[in-house]
Amino acid sequence: MRDLFDKIYKDKGPLGKWASQAEGYFVFPKLEGEISNRMKFQGKDVITWSINDYLGLANHPEVRKVDAEAAAEYGSAYPMGARMMSGHTDLHEKLQNELASFVQKEAAYLLNFGYQGMVSTIDALVAKDDIIVYDVDAHACIIDGVRLHMGKRFTYKHNDVESLEKNLERATKMAEQTGGGILVISEGVFGMRGEQGRLKEIVELKKKFNFRLFVDDAHGFGTLGATGAGAGEEQGVQADIDVYFATFAKSLASTGAFIAGDQEIIDYLKYNLRSQMFAKSLQMQLVVGALKRLEMLKTMPELKNKLWENVNALQSGLKERGFDIGTTQSCVTPVYLKGSIPEAMALVRDLRENYGIFCSIVVYPVIPKGMILLRLIPTSTHTLQDVSETLDAFDAIRERLENGTYKRLSAAVMAAMGE
């Protein structure tokens, strides 16, 4: 019998094996200063394209004021206990009611964390006889929620409605045997590629198949739709989403999340969500802060308008210069390049040290080998000057990637790795 930890000592994993070269710089980097379009990284000023503060609320003076006042009034402990036992308040209910109204649903329920809440919601929605059908590119929190399911699950090709239909046919046959139901899960916006889930086409399949639809709209909430109610509103199918999920970690620049749907569905979930029944209630200062942020989202459309001005300037500028940004339909702006992991490290170091541009780097195994994805997140705090400087920097690093400069610079990294 082997030691359980043998795998830890012998195989650090596809990302972990780069830890000595990457940690503190490429992974687990430390950005400093107020959350904004420009921050500091290792003492240098950088244009920051890796913060999900879409509407620029993180350091808005009105938000900071309310956060500080709530912290002073309630502290960081109140209310103590889980919601069902001793952690329920009028303000929790008020926030739920306002969120439900905003996303055009009968009811909503607060979640302490988005990731934890998503896992628990999937677990509560399905029993062992039920079948889950979900997009193969779903976020890790969805995948982990599906892993808890004791019954059958099928993946369909990313945003491929024909593949979804085939899997719904399989799921329907299976459900007829088990006596269960079918849950389809999609994202409103896929956070890596920026594509919207094909919610309108998925809803259309309800005419042919009997299933319920659960949508993770973390990146769509606050950024898409006429009012900011998300991808469902943008595509005209918000009413057809059976369970709607969004997090406070993006547009609301805070901590927490919520689910929304018909009153009876939410009533069921709040009595069966293990991650909420057996965990401390969302702290009061976060609840008060979320109420303020939601109010600003509803009453200050200029925040979303400025966000999209920056998004359009960045994305159109990249396309005009010949960069591949895929098929994004959201604020998420991926830039696809070809190169190895060591080349990606050399490229990103050049961007940060010599051009003052900080964006996230994504490599294998998240994307295929030989690809580099630079992920940019525009916000309302960015300026057109930020966009212009970034476009010029990307022109320069692409030329260096193509002429082999980064390959030569990365040779030392490869040698150190013994590869």
Express each pLDDT in 325-369 by its tens digit. Answer: 999 999 999 999 999 888 998 999 999 999 999 999 888 777 788
Reported confidence tier of residue 178, pLDDT bands at 50, 70, 90: very high
Instruction: Answer whether 300's CB lies under 8 Å from 194's CB.
Output: no
From CA 144, how far away is CA 167, in angstroms rounded? 20
3-class DSSP assignment, residue 186: strand
Domains within the chain, CATH numbers bracketed: 5-54+301-417 (3.90.1150.10), 61-299 (3.40.640.10)
**pTM for this entry:** 0.93
* Ranges 80-84, 173-177, 296-300: which has the least confidence: 80-84
Mean pLDDT of the chain: 93
| pLDDT interval class at 46 (50, 70, 90) | very high
| Sheet strands (E) in 265-419 | 333-338, 357-358, 360-362, 371-376
Chain segment 227-270, per-residue pLDDT in tens: 999 999 999 999 999 999 999 999 999 999 999 999 999 999 99
Distance between CA atoms of residues 246 and 114, nearest Å: 7
Tens-digit pLDDT profile for residues 76-103 = 999 999 888 998 999 999 999 999 999 9
Over residues 9-25, mean pLDDT: 76
From first CA to last CA, the distance across the chain in angstroms is 31
Lowest model confidence (mean pLDDT) among 110-119, 141-150, 360-369:
360-369
Confidence label for 415 from pLDDT (cuts 50, 70 and 90): low
Give residue 417's pLDDT. Answer: 46
Residue 217 pLDDT greater than 80, yes or no: yes
